[in-house]
Structure 1
Amino acid sequence: MALILSLETSTTVCSVALHNNGKLVASAEMHKEQSHASKLAVLIDQVVKLADIPMSAIQAIAVSEGPGSYTGLRIGVSTAKGLCFALGIPLLSVSTLSLLAKQIQLKAILDNAWLCPMIDARRMEVYCQIFDSEINVLRPIEAKVIDEESFRESLSDHKIIFFGDGAAKCKSVITHSNAFFISDIVPSAKELGFLASEKFSRNEFENLVTFEPFYLKEFLIKKPADKDSAVANKIS
């Protein structure tokens, strides 16, 4: 086990946590859109000061790898890699959807239901994945446009809990009796550090040179129809 600093920037919430041997030491978070670039370094400084430790004592940096906001993931990963290079320590990454599933599992309200974390991908699209109650992967990660038929086959045989910042907009569309929704669940560095500690013990480190966030979908910039049109439209 080790002293691990964790950064979570995949959604509108920006959070930082420090874990020692898998136990939370200090944490801080900011619930404000588009604050990651200006506030991530501030949160890191707050957490290190709260823990009363020097940066040189940190043994690894963990980061949420995605999917999620293109801009948020890019900021988190670039900051994490910069700290790893500066401190000469390894990088750990955790799937954002696995992280969300773990957060629900820790709430102990599963009742053998399947878990479907959802991250908002704009309009009626979400990034999602299905796990069992032990966080075993049942379905691969996908970018899914939600309609009345979504998950119908799975819901016919299993209770499924939907959660994450993409789930709220799906509640009025997925109306099967086996569909349950939990609100106000966002990825958190508090649980990220717990999962990262497990990966540290297994030496599951990332290559600092080649590691990139898992965006799932490319960052899209549409050319304007004419010179008077908007400069760009983007999905993040």
Structure 2
Amino acid sequence: MKKLSKSLFASVLTAALCSSLTLCAQVKIGTNPETIEATSNLEVEASTAGRKVKVDNTSGQLTISDGTQGTGKVLTSDATGGASWQDKDVLCNSFEASRTSQTIATGASTTLIPTTENFDPSNAYNVATGVYTVPEDGVYVFTGSANDGGSATGVRNSIISILSDVKGNLTLANSADLAYTKGIWLSVSAITKAVAGEKITLKYSVAHVSGTNPTNINIGAIRFAGSRMDCNTN
């Protein structure tokens, strides 16, 4: 028996492996390995229906369908390298909350709790507690403002501050000693490098200086907001 030439052997092997053009051009890994979309060169399919990574055989476009995909989203990584699609607004981790008024006790630093969210796409602000939990590491800017006044007699000094449970006071502002009957409007802002899980709150206190010490005082026009700065908003 004559031996097959090297070129003939290669031809026979190629024919055996590539019994069809589809088999030669396409690779499927994972669930349903025998079924692949006609337009795909490569597919890696998960056991969950519709979850797959594929490469188009004409354009070379990569498609990642993991259930988080959507129009205008960007692909991001978590701390362990796990990828998911996120809204661009979520990446900026911005929020703003407000409240018309809140009654606080004098002589103590109290967390202001704006109960109306104007926006919070990452759902990181808690309207029940007034706490913003930093979703991911980054450089953030926080701002807060409020006012107080009343009919009580005497003099008070008011302080507003932005507090981190990791770093303490990030910033504060206080008024000159003024009569309760004179309104005070205070605002603060802070830029900080925050870490995921860090809790940020807006605090307000009224220190009684002289005269009749009221038990409570009304705080009005409350606004608390923040945004991650080192993100692409284009």
TM bin, normalised by shorter chain, reads: under 0.3
Structure with bigger helix share is 1
Structure with bigger strand share is 2
Q: TM-score, normalised by structure 2?
A: 0.23
Q: TM-score, normalised by structure 1?
A: 0.23
Between 1 and 2, higher relative CO (CA 8 Å, sep ≥ 6) is seen in: 1
